[in-house]
Amino acid sequence: MLVIRPIRPSDYAALYDCAVESGHGFTSLPIDQALLERRIERAQHAFSAESLEAPGEEGYLFVMEDTETGEIAGVSGIEAAVGKSDAFWHYRLGKVVHHSAELGIHNTLETLTLCNDYTGVSELCTLFLREPYRKGLNGRTLSRFRMLFLAQFRQRFSDWVIAEMRGVCDDDGQSPFWGWLEDNFFSMDFPKADYLSGVGSKAFIAELMPRFPIYVNMLPEKAQAVIGRVHDNTFPALKLLQSEGFRFRGFVDIFDAGPTVEAEVSNLRSVRNSRILPVEVGEADANGEPHIVCNTSVTQFRAGQVSLVRDASVVRLDAKTAETLHLQHGDTARVVAL
């Protein structure tokens, strides 16, 4: 069974492997031992906090583990509130109108304006599923279980949640959008800028990023073409989030111009459709349909894909599955159909 659980210090090697395999442009998984160890430590503190009345700087990091082999299949995370200690930057797409009634000229032009509009919102982040496990509903499970975590522990998160999608870059890590910024403002390549941001060295953004609105039509065509577009490997993740209710509202990443999508937590499909049901341990449901089932503990959180009868009034689990999900007869579980 593939079970999702809080990350542990012993998962460091697997997390490092995920960072290597994720490639260029995956800012939240830089190949940096100290940073990855800090992320694990920070997650340990977040999960150990029994009660929180409001979102702070907690970072929840989960792994998907193959219980048969002990191998880590993937990683997934949630930030409780971004931008509270370090500025959280985006470009906001806007429009300006240049109009001359006397000359009969009317031009509507797109602009990019540096902003911190998403400060304080929650963020879905660090979603990476390793190649051997990219099959069936594994990717959907590794992404969507986070909606159940948001639903179960609402006080720990903002009313709004975002997800930054990886933008377009080539196999060598070169971004068409960053190429223009590099030539004119930064004098460093995209992998270095992405790495510095990932390890938390973000002062250079405020120091070097152009502060005045940029006219999009003044950028090279290849840079204009990738604004708001995702990397080919990221397209399935974007479609899944869109099916949950996430929408693009004109905010893009300052490095690769990938889109940031947003949603109100209460309107997410998995949040609205999830249910709290009692657990029965015994004979599992026959001829069921795939569901995500998670327990209701923060410190001992577990989630996984289980076959259940749709719209059943109880969650029937065999003893092994119940033990894996840290559930006992009479407990309650949160479930949603896959």
Catalytic residue among 24, 90, 231, 291: 231
Q: Is 231 a catalytic residue?
A: yes
Residues whose CB falls within 8 Å of the CB of residue 164, separated by 6 or more in sequence, listed in order: 27, 123, 125, 253, 258, 260
Phi, psi of 220 (to 5 degrees): -60, 150
**CA 65 – CA 54 distance, rounded (Å):** 30
**CA 254 – CA 104 distance, rounded (Å):** 35
**Contacts by residues 167-170 (CB-CB < 8 Å, ≥ 24 positions apart):** 167/25, 167/226, 167/229, 167/230, 167/231, 167/252, 167/253, 167/255, 167/256, 167/257, 167/258, 167/259, 168/226, 168/229, 168/230, 168/231, 168/256, 168/257, 168/258, 169/24, 169/25, 169/231, 169/256
Active site residues: 231
